[in-house]
């Protein structure tokens, strides 16, 4: 229905239909649907892509966060600090370990975790920071890391939207103790269903996570501990392996589109584009602008056949699910204000310059 969708998966899948069909057939013919060869090969290839020592495939991005927290020993009595402008998967997994989720505010320029706000939220119970590279935009990892070192905290990077993003020339996944990814179909690297992954440079954590995702197994029926069935599906691994070699190129195209968006929006100073931190290279999962008349712009673009999104309209600390935590309006002012103004514009590798020009033109018309 939309002439310019928010994301277009169709183009990519048509182009790769043949090799993907071959890959699927190979798995079917092998009869190894569970932890087949493609899973370990994908893990190896994704670690290479992330420039980390290790990677583990998982069932999805949510399970990745959960198992990472469990592997770090986080549970009852602990507190984990995260941001409210993320998908609920980030925080619900903290609660599922028995730990308490604590929300801090975001930086108004990059919309990522505000290190100053983090410091104010640290207590004796704080065990970990869970920064989110939201929209693909890397957090201020150097500052978060020094806070974590000073207070003896773990860092779990939620990199579900940030495959290949970099900060100070280091890829996400190399800053924290562990980083988690989603391969949900619409992410920068997407499967044909649910899939996820974890990267780390810590051998002990790697080994622990690897057994935890497969029932704590050492051998077929020898369990070192209780674990989970959080395995990456072999068919999804095979599909991801076909797509992964293109990811670098796709991210470059996304960055190129972002440069054009920014250039065109320079002429409309009332529209503010979310910025990258100094030294940050976003993976541009989304391109997000801010304007007080967000809803009006969104409706006007929809009329013109342009799909947009709001990621996310209600900050987590004000969600019904977190009423019990007792936050009030005004507690995290930056996140609250931004949630009213943000608008995600179409962003995918195959977007054209002409389409971007048309989108920006209509944004201008909407606020004129």
Ligand X SMILES: *Cc1c(COP(=O)(O)O)cnc(C)c1O
Residues binding ligand X (CB under 6 A): 60-62, 86-87, 89-90, 132, 158, 160-161, 182, 184, 194, 196
Compare residues 265 and 312 and give the one whose CB is closer to ligand X: 312
Compare residues 60 and 126 and give the one whose CB is closer to ligand X: 60
Q: How far is the CB of 90 from ligand X (least distance, A)?
A: 5
Q: How far is the CB of 340 from ligand X (least distance, A)?
A: 20
Tell me the C-alpha distance between 166 and 186, whole Å.
20
Compare residues 132 and 238 and give the one whose CB is closer to ligand X: 132
Which CA distances in Å does 117 have to 101, 112, 121, 188?
A: 15, 11, 7, 29
Angle (CA) 343 265 283, round 5°: 60
Nearest residue to ligand X, scored by beta-carbon proximity: 61
Tell me the C-alpha distance between 343 and 340, whole Å.
9
Compare residues 62 and 214 and give the one whose CB is closer to ligand X: 62
Q: How far is the CB of 357 from ligand X (least distance, A)?
A: 28
What region, left, alpha or beta, does residue 225 occupy, with left being phi > 0 and alpha being psi -120 to 50 degrees?
A: beta
| Nearest residue to 314 (alpha-carbon basis) of 82, 117, 65, 87 | 87
Cα 178 from chain centre: 14
Q: How far is the CB of 31 from ligand X (least distance, A)?
A: 27
| Nearest residue to 33 (alpha-carbon basis) of 314, 236, 203 | 236
Cα 105 from chain centre: 18
Compare residues 92 and 295 and give the one whose CB is closer to ligand X: 92
Compare residues 177 and 187 and give the one whose CB is closer to ligand X: 187
Tell me the C-alpha distance between 362 and 368, whole Å.
10
Compare residues 173 and 366 and give the one whose CB is closer to ligand X: 173
Compare residues 166 and 360 and give the one whose CB is closer to ligand X: 166
Element (H, E) at 342: strand 342-345
Residue 346 is classified by DSSP as P
With H, G, I as helix, E, B as strand and everything else as coil, classify residue 90. Answer: helix
Tell me the C-alpha distance between 156 and 158, whole Å.
6
Q: Which two tokens stand for residue 291?
A: 């304007």
Q: How far is the CB of 222 from ligand X (least distance, A)?
A: 30
């Amino acid at each position: 229905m939309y002439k310019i969708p928010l994301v277009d998966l169709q183009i990519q899948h048509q182009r790769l239909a043949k090799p993907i069909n071959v890959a699927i057939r190979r798995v079917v013919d092998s009869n190894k649907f569970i932890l087949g060869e493609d899973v370990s090969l994908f893990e190896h290839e994704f670690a290479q892509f992330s420039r980390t020592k290790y990677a583990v495939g998982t069932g999805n991005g949510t399970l990745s966060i959960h198992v990472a927290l469990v592997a770090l020993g986080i549970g009852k009595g602990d507190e984990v600090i995260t941001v409210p402008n993320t998908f609920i998967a980030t925080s619900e997994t903290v609660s599922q370990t028995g730990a308490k989720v604590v929300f801090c505010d975001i930086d108004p320029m990059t919309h990522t975790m505000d290190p100053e706000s983090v410091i104010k939220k640290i207590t004796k119970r704080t065990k970990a920071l869970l920064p989110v590279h939201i929209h693909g935009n890397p957090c201020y990892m150097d500052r978060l890391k020094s806070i974590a070192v000073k207070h003896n905290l773990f860092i779990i990077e939620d990199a579900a939207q940030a495959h290949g993003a970099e900060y100070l020339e280091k890829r996400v996944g190399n800053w924290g103790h562990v980083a988690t990814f989603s391969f949900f179909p619409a992410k920068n690297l997407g499967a044909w269903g649910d899939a996820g992954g974890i990267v780390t440079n810590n051998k002990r954590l790697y080994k622990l996570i690897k057994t935890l995702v497969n029932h704590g197994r050492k051998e077929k029926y020898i369990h070192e501990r209780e674990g989970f069935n959080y395995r990456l599906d072999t068919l999804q691994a095979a599909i991801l392996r076909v797509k992964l070699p293109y990811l670098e190129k796709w991210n470059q195209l996304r960055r190129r589109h972002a440069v054009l968006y920014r250039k065109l929006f320079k002429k409309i100073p009332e529209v503010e584009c979310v910025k990258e931190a100094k030294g940050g290279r976003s993976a541009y999962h989304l391109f997000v602008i801010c304007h007080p008349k967000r809803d009006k712009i969104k409706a006007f673009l929809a009329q013109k056949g342009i799909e947009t999104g709001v990621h996310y309209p209600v900050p987590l600390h004000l969600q019904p699910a977190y009423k019990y935590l007792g936050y009030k309006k005004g507690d995290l002012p930056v996140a609250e204000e931004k949630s009213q103004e943000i608008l995600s514009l179409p962003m995918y590798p195959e977007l054209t310059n002409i389409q971007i020009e048309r989108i920006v033109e209509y944004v201008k018309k909407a606020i004129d």
